[in-house]
Chain A
Amino acid sequence: MAEVRPLIRDELLPPEPPPRRHLISIADLTRDDVERLLALARTFAKSLEREVKKLPALRGRTVVNLFYESSTRTSSSFELAAKRLSADVMSIKATGSSVDKGESLKDTALTIGCYDPDVVVIRHPEIGAPNLVAQLTGAHVVNAGDGKHQHPTQALLDLYTIEDELGGIAGLHVAIVGDVLHSRVARSNVQALLLMGAKVTLVGPPPLIPRGIEAMGCEVSYDIDTIRGADVVYVLRMQKERMLAGANYVPSLREYTARWGVTPERIRPGQKVMHPGPMNRGVEIDGCVADMADALIERQVRSGLVVRMAVLYDLLTHGPVEVKVAEIEEVA
């Protein structure tokens, strides 16, 4: 049977979309893009060692943080990243805003669009919210987490952390352990790690590993002992707030922890342990593992700041990274 051409929605867009980039999914990036962003983040890390940490790079630019879900790490690091680059920052949380009065995402986006922001950073519980904001405003949109879909800056900061610690990413074996089904962090990290040449194995109880995910190019194991072979063990949070009530993904947290919890006995010396936070100590990760020297969890948070500075800077200044680095040195 001949093939019927699948519908390609891209063809429906106007022939020449305006030159504007968003970071909604890791799939938006090439390997070169990632390398450029990581290099830029390293430059910013150096600049943050100075006594005066503020750079004038984005002076006069406006960044709006629009958060429909609770967040500590992501919202604070985006805010600080924008401030470190001298941008004007406006942070809007769904609670206490017109969202409480039933305003739709469309109207909130149009309202914010009236201030001509350069960047809108959005976190939203529903997949596709950043795409909608991208259609409705003239701003660059950065996805700070949309439902179970994507959290691209988390994956970038994880790449940065791994590269910083282990000197590279290609050829490494990363085991991602836990509630993959509900994890946008897992989806972004699988794409990002594969893009950079790592091997990825997803480990967890069968109901929490989405059916068909091998098609992304990763491997799947239901056996926690698989993590021993990995260079990096990336632990995911059990996301109880995203689970359907009564769905019985696992019979109990006790059994989950007994079977799939990352405990000192299950890892070997020298293995690096990561977690995107917030952690449930004693559930998916043993407190001793979280606090051990090979845990990179706080390093991840620190990386978040420079990586988000790099993302904001890169979106607002097109062009080869070398030139931009020179500019930074100059203004600093």
Chain B
Amino acid sequence: MSPDKNTKEMICIVCPIGCHLQVSTDGEEVKVTGNRCSRGEEYAREEMLSPKRVVTATCRLEDPQHPRLPVKTDAALPFEQIEALLAEVYSLSVKPPVKVGQVLIEDFAETGVNLVSSRTIQTQ
């Protein structure tokens, strides 16, 4: 085994199956075993190089029946951006009607990631 060879075990978080992955890097090359699908391989590669997470939270909703609106990022966000995104989510206030998938924050911090509503709320 060459000195820049590095093996790591990780649990795939792409879906609830939670595959146990063996990831080895040899210089630029990332080798993944233990994955059941191609998304697991992609996750492991990304986790080794630059970890990202989908963020789910709630923001204020101006509706007496539903004071909070569930929201999510439409793609995984770089780890170090999560705190800043959450600060923005918590200062947001949405007026119904709002549709599931509706963009609430577009292209957050030029990451290409949008914050979208994950629920439809009609006006009363």
B partners with A = no
